[in-house]
A = this chain, B = another copy of it.
Amino acid sequence: MPSNIVLLTDFGLNDNYVGVMKGVILAIQPHAHIVDLSHSIKPHDVLEGALTLKTAYTYFPKYSIFVCVVDPGVGSKRKPILVATKDYLFLAPDNGVLTPIIDQERTYKIFEIKNDRYLIKPVSHTFHGRDIFSPVAAYLSKGLLPSRFGPRLKSIKRLELPIPVVNRKNRKIVGQVMHIDHFGNLITNIEERDLKGFSDRFHLNIKNSVIRGLCHSYVEVKRGSVLSIIGSAGYLEISVNQGSAAKKLNVKKGERVEISSEIG
């Protein structure tokens, strides 16, 4: 059974770019099982790519090969890299998109993708998803070892992921809205563990609104009302039961979120 090849890009679905990547993969490895993780990363938004990968990759089967092409520096000197962890392989430009992997995985090996024997030639200056990352993914899926594609690297670029400021003494957390999903849920960078020691009956301030206490399901409030809840990826989310919190609170990505459990 060949490995799954999981695609994560900022290419959108309006052009033939994603389709062409699949064509390249299948021409090399006809048995490839290709899965779309997302192609809706905001163009050039490496951080959004990293966060999307972070909360998803562990759900995929062992030996999945992730192709992560959010690549504002395509054609520059930034290196195409391959990171091998115990369970997975990751292909990406060396721009920080793999930060969650090196932060979360204990052991990994990094390789530079350099051996042009396995690339589509001439390699374009604008579409390494097609010319570098897709063919390498296909050959990996055929069983070639990572070392075949280039030399080991000692380190790769790390992004600073936005983390909240947790002040346990003053019982205050200051975080931010990190992502707004399709439903208008406001996903913050505050994790469940950050809330340890805080009362569930905290006050959450966002823009001009105060939300009191943590719910365990949407239906604990009336339809159309705002609530806070630990979402499926372990982050604190601000939601509206059967509605859009982004619309109701008129909030954008990056909005400040403040939690305090002084009261009571």
Chain A residues near B (Cβ < 8 Å): 1, 4, 6, 8, 11-20, 22-24, 26-27, 30-31, 33-40, 43-44, 52, 55-57, 59-62, 64, 72-76, 124-127, 130-131, 179, 181-184, 216-219, 229-232, 237, 242, 244
Contact = CB atoms under 8 A, between A and B. Distances in A.
A124 to B, nearest CB: 4
Main secondary structure of the interface of A (DSSP, over half): loop
A62 B31 CA distance: 14
Q: How many copies does the complex hold?
A: 3
A217 B125 contact: yes
B15 A124 contact: no
Given A217-B125, A232-B126, A37 B60 contact: no
A38 B23 contact: no
23 contacts: A1-B31, A14-B40, A14-B181, A15-B38, A15-B40, A15-B179, A16-B37, A16-B38, A17-B182, A18-B36, A23-B35, A23-B37, A26-B35, A26-B61, A26-B64, A30-B61, A43-B183, A72-B218, A73-B218, A76-B217, A124-B231, A127-B232, A130-B232
Given A4-B26, A75-B216, A75-B217, A40 B59 contact: no
A29 B237 CA distance: 31
B76 A44 contact: no
A12 B39 CA distance: 12
Contacts of A124: 231-232
Contact of A15 (B131, B181, B230, B242): B181
B56 A126 contact: no
B59 A38 contact: no
Given A181-B14, A182-B14, A231-B126, A19 B56 contact: yes
Nearest to A35: B22
Contact of A126 (B24, B52, B72, B218): B218
A200 to B, nearest CB: 14
A75 B38 contact: no
